[in-house]
Structures are given as C-alpha cells and as structure tokens.
C-alpha cells in the first residue's frame, strides 16, 4: 500500500463505446495481457520469468519496485501474485484443458450477450422517451423521474454485463482497471466501502471531525494522504519533519465525468489563550482543481498558482498543547461554477478560517476527507523556524483550577 497507484495508461475511452471495447478485450483471453505494450510491461515487472531465484530479500524486491515506479512502469498485482505468475505455465483461457471450465465460460458469455442486448433495448427506449413530448408521457416531472430510473437501470445493466468476466476481475486486482469504464469504478467503490471507508467513518466519529469542522458529511471519494510517497492512515500522528513538505493526495472518485473541487486542509485545534478555547486554522486552500476518476493524483506542492489561495503551511503543535487534528477536505463545486480565486484570496485569512461558512458561501459539497494529527516533537522547532512561524518559544501549561472555599461546619452539631 505504500505506492500511489499510477493512473491508467489509456484513459481516453468514451463512455458509450465502453461496452464495445469491452467485448473486444474479452475475446483476448490470455492470462497475461495480449497487447504488446502490456506484455512488455509484464516482462519488465518480472525480469526473469524462466528461472525464479530461490530466495530474494524483501529489500531487493522493494528497491526493484522503486526503480520500476520511477521509470513509470505500473507494478502489477501483489508480490505473491507476481511470484506465482513467474512459475505458472501461461496458457490462454480458451486452451485450458478443463471441460467444465470451458462450459462455464460459455454460459457466462451467453449471459453477457443477453445483457448487451438488454442494454441496446434500454438505450432505444430512453431515446424514444427523450424524443417524446412531455404532455404525452404524463407531465414534465413524470417524464424526468421515468428517465432517471431508466438511466439508473441502464447503469446497472452495464455493470451486470461485465461483473462475471474473469479477465476484468484480474485486471482490476492487478490495478490496471480503466476507471473510465463503469465496471472498474463499481469494483473499486465496492472494495473501498468494504474496508477503508469503514475505518475512515470510525476515525471521523472518534475525532469528532463531523460536529467540529463540518455539520455532516458522507464520504463518497477515497482520499489517501501521502507525505513523501508514504500513505498516512486516517488519524495517524505524523512527525512534523514529514509534514514539512506538502502532501500528495490520491483522490479516487467513483462517478463518471470531470468536476472541479476545492481542497482545504484545516487544523481544528489551534489553542486560543485569551478566549480559553480552540480556533481553526487553514493550512492549505486551493479552488477549481480539476478531478476525474482517471486522474486521482493531486500533488498539493505543484498546484498551478492560479488555483492556490493559501499555499502549504507546515502543521505544528506548540509544546504542551494537545495534539492537533488536521483534516484534508475535498469539496465538490457546483457543476459549471467557478470560484473566484482572487476574491477569495482577498478576504481569507489562515487564522480563524471557518470551513462551515466557506462551504455555505460557495455552495460546496464535501465528498472526501483525509485525516492526520500533529504533535510537538523534537523537529517542530526547526520546522517552525524554517517556515517563519512564531511561537516556538511558548509552552502550554495546565491552568490551576481554584478549589471551592471550604465551608466549615458547626462543630457543636456533631457532638
């Protein structure tokens, strides 16, 4: 999990041509990818397929993976799977000598044909209804609802057509799924909801992110926060020297299309001694960041200047202060609505930035969240000095609570 998954090499698929393309790819039933480019990738990922070395140290494997990652070669599957691939006889699916297996494949293919036929029928129906006059089809609202439900059914059919395809399953598990196709998005969403989202939900509740920073939130996008190539588990305490440089986000959305998002990193535990309470501080703010299912990578350090409202300020917690919750929010902007960065820049300050009102003002919808925590450690002082932040010479100490005056009871009563 320590590597960010690279974007798929062939992102330009049209949505309506998906099924056609899928049918073609389904025919190449090679266990390894059939296209020469992918085959080459496979070979470079597994340098010596003929003679597997008897024992390789993890360190050697890791350095090899790092080398390939730097080259831009996607690393396929897990280490175990790559090792298995090296030793397996790579016979294509149609030539496998298992009669039952071949019969089962035939059934699956027939089912797929049927689903594709249903898709065509559904598309024709939708086109017919769209062309129809609203008065004939029972009113504008009725027509809209009917079209919505028909489109939903069409999406379901698209997924059902591909869900039983072993090659699609293999490609998804190898991390080679094309996120433009609904089936891969569906599989990725399901996988995320099975484990990562549950953890995230728990952390949001445990750290009270939801009532404190935003009134409510329903994460629909998978957000990974990575400092120097290392993903932080939601809610982890991260050393201040690691968080000095801005993180790279991997934001995977599971619905189609490009959209603009606002990215905000908020510290919700800034101590305020005068108020005897906590404030908010914004550590990063960027608007109008394009995001689509195939472009999940979002390096905060190299964002174009016209998008950035507040550049990265390293998170810090002064000595003695309680740990500070840093939350990374992905806020989806309304369709076709662009935030005026210059205007936002003018009336936005880091200290006292309230995300609730910002979200309300710009009609944003929170879609994803990432969490980490920061604490005073031995590197914080240096980090603060380098970033020109004052207050490293201050230490927080607990205020003594005055005891209530003791009321002396009348001794005579107790004699």
Give the footprint of other proteins on this chain (CB under 8 A): 208, 210-213, 215-216, 271-273, 275-278, 318-321, 356, 392-399, 401-404
Q: Which is nearer to other proteins, 75 or 355 (CB)?
A: 355
CB 189 within 8 A of CB 154: no
Distance CA 10, CA 6 (A): 12
Question: How many beta carbons lie within 10 A of that of residue 128, not counting itself?
Answer: 10
CB count in 10 Å sphere of residue 9: 13
User: Quick one: 14 or 276, whose CB is closer to other proteins?
Assistant: 276
For other proteins, the closer of residues 211 and 304 by Cβ is 211
CB 82, min distance to other proteins, A: 47
Q: How far is the CB of 266 from other proteins (least distance, A)?
A: 12
For 8, phi then psi, to 5°, come to -65, 140
Give dist(CA 55, CA 44) in Å, integer: 19
How many beta carbons lie within 10 A of that of residue 165, not counting itself? 20
What H or E segment, with its residue span, contains residue 119?
helix 99-131
Least CB distance from residue 230 to other proteins, whole Å?
Answer: 30
Nearer to other proteins, 172 or 358 (CB): 358
Element (H, E) at 262: strand 259-272
The least distance separating other proteins from the CB of residue 385, rounded to whole angstroms, comes to 12
The residue count of the chain comes to: 415
Rounded to the nearest whole angstrom, what is the least distance from the CB of residue 125 to other proteins in the complex? 42
Nearer to other proteins, 70 or 398 (CB): 398
Tokens representing 376? 């005073």
For other proteins, the closer of residues 217 and 286 by Cβ is 217
What are residue 186's phi and psi, to 5 degrees? -60, -45
**Taking the complex as a whole, how short is the minimal distance between the CB of residue 140 and other proteins, in angstroms?**
35
At residue 295, the 3 state secondary structure works out as strand
| CA gap 229, 252 in Å, rounded | 17
- Terminal C-alpha separation, the chain: 74
Judged by CB, which is closer to other proteins: 213, or 231? Answer: 213
Could you tell me the smallest distance in angstroms from the CB atom of residue 392 to other proteins?
8
Whichever of 235 and 293 has its CB closer to other proteins, that residue is 235
- How many whole angstroms separate alpha carbon 209 and alpha carbon 326? 9
How far apart are the C-alpha atoms of 317 and 392, rounded to whole Å? 9
* Smallest separation, CB 315 to other proteins (Å): 18
Backbone phi, psi, residue 80, to 5°: -60, -40
């Amino acid at each position: 999990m320590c590597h960010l998954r690279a974007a798929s090499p062939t992102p330009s698929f049209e949505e309506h041509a998906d099924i056609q393309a899928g049918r073609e790819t389904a025919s190449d039933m090679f266990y390894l990818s059939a296209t020469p480019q992918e085959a080459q990738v496979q070979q470079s990922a597994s340098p010596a397929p003929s003679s597997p070395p008897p024992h390789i140290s993890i360190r050697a494997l890791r350095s090899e993976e790092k080398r390939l990652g730097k080259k831009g070669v996607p690393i396929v599957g897990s280490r175990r799977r790559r090792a298995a691939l090296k030793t397996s006889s790579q016979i294509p699916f149609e030539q496998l000598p298992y009669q039952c297996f071949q019969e089962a494949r035939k059934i699956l293919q027939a089912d797929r044909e049927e689903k594709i036929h249903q898709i065509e029928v559904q598309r024709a129906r939708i086109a017919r209804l769209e062309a129809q006059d609203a008065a004939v089809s029972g009113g504008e609202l009725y027509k809209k609802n009917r079209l919505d439900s028909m489109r939903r059914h069409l999406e379901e059919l698209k997924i059902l057509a591909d869900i039983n395809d072993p090659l699609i399953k293999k490609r998804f598990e190898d991390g080679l799924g094309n996120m433009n196709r609904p089936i891969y998005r569906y599989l990725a969403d399901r996988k995320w909801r099975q484990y990562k989202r549950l953890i995230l939900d728990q952390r949001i509740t445990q750290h009270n992110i939801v009532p404190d920073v935003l009134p409510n939130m329903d994460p629909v996008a998978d957000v990974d926060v990575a400092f120097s190539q290392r993903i932080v588990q939601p809610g982890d305490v991260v050393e201040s020297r690691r968080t000095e440089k801005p993180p790279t986000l991997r934001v995977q959305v599971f619905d189609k299309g490009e959209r603009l998002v606002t990215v905000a990193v908020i510290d919700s535990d800034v101590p305020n001694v005068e108020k005897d309470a906590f404030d908010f501080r914004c550590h990063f703010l960027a608007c109008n960041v394009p995001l689509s299912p195939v472009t999940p990578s979002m390096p905060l350090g190299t964002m174009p200047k016209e998008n950035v409202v507040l550049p990265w300020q390293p998170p810090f917690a002064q000595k003695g202060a309680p740990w500070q919750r840093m939350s990374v929010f992905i806020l989806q902007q309304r369709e076709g609505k662009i935030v005026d960065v210059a205007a936002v820049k003018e009336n936005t300050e880091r200290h006292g930035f309230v995300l609730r009102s910002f979200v309300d003002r710009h009609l944003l919808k929170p879609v994803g969240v990432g969490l980490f925590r920061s604490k005073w450690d031995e590197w914080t002082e240096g980090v603060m000095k380098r970033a020109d932040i004052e207050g490293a010479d201050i230490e927080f100490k607990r205020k003594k609570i005055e005891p209530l005056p003791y009321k002396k009871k009348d001794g005579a009563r107790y004699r």
